[in-house]
Structure formats: C-alpha cells, structure tokens
Amino acid sequence: MLRILSAAVLSALLATAARADPPDHDAVRRAVANGEIRPLTEILEQVRDRLPGEIVGVEIEQKHGRWLYEFRALDRGGRLFDVYVNGRSGEIERIKEK
C-alpha cells in the first residue's frame, strides 16, 4: 500500500513542474543528498497516520531558507486541507482547511 501511495505522491510531486514557478529539481536533489531535507518516502512514513485525509497532491518549496513539504489531503467528508511539513524534521507545522 505504501509503495502504491508513494508512487502516486511522487507522480503528483513531479506534476508540480507544470506550475508557473516550478521548484529547482536539482536544488531539491542536492538538499536531500546534503541532509538538509529528508526524502519524501521517509516523510510519508512519519506523517501519513496524522494527516486529516487521503493525500491527493504534494509539493515541495523553500520559504525563508527552510524546505517545506505541502501535502493536500481530502477527508471523507470532502473537505480539502493543506498540510505543511518541515522537510528536515518531518514535523507537521500547520494544517489549513481550504
């Protein structure tokens, strides 16, 4: 199940490249290699049971010198949430209902 979910989330992450200002994929790879951020699969293992629903999208961005994974989650009631996760620690920093 995790393998299927990870593949779906990875596909969603790669799909964000179509945004107006896509993340620098080389910078993300370097950040993972240098230990600045943890790989998406590790972050997913840590937070998946604490997300408010099913993951329907993911992005990574750097804000104020920090990397954040942004998960979009859809709960059973149809509510949509943005969940911001610290890329280094894997801690959920904020959950915002859309």
Beta bridge partners of 71: 58, 83
Beta strands in the chain (DSSP E): 54-63, 66-74, 80-86, 92-97
* pTM score: 0.76
Instruction: Please tell me the predicted confidence (pLDDT) of residue 83.
Output: 97
Report pLDDT for 65.
Answer: 87
Gap between the Cα atoms of 51 and 97, Å rounded: 12
- Inform me whether the pLDDT recorded for 20 exceeds 50: no
Predicted pLDDT at 86: 97
Tokens of 23: 């993340």
Q: Is the pLDDT of residue 79 over 50?
A: yes
Q: Where is mean pLDDT largest: 14-23, 57-66, 78-87?
A: 78-87
- Residue 68: pLDDT over 90: yes
pLDDT at 51 over 90: yes
Kindly give the interhelix angle for 2-15 and 40-47, rounded to the nearest 10 degrees: 120
How many C-beta atoms lie closer than 10 Å to residue 15's C-beta? Answer: 12
Instruction: Out of 5-14, 43-52, 72-81, 82-91, pick the least confident.
Output: 5-14
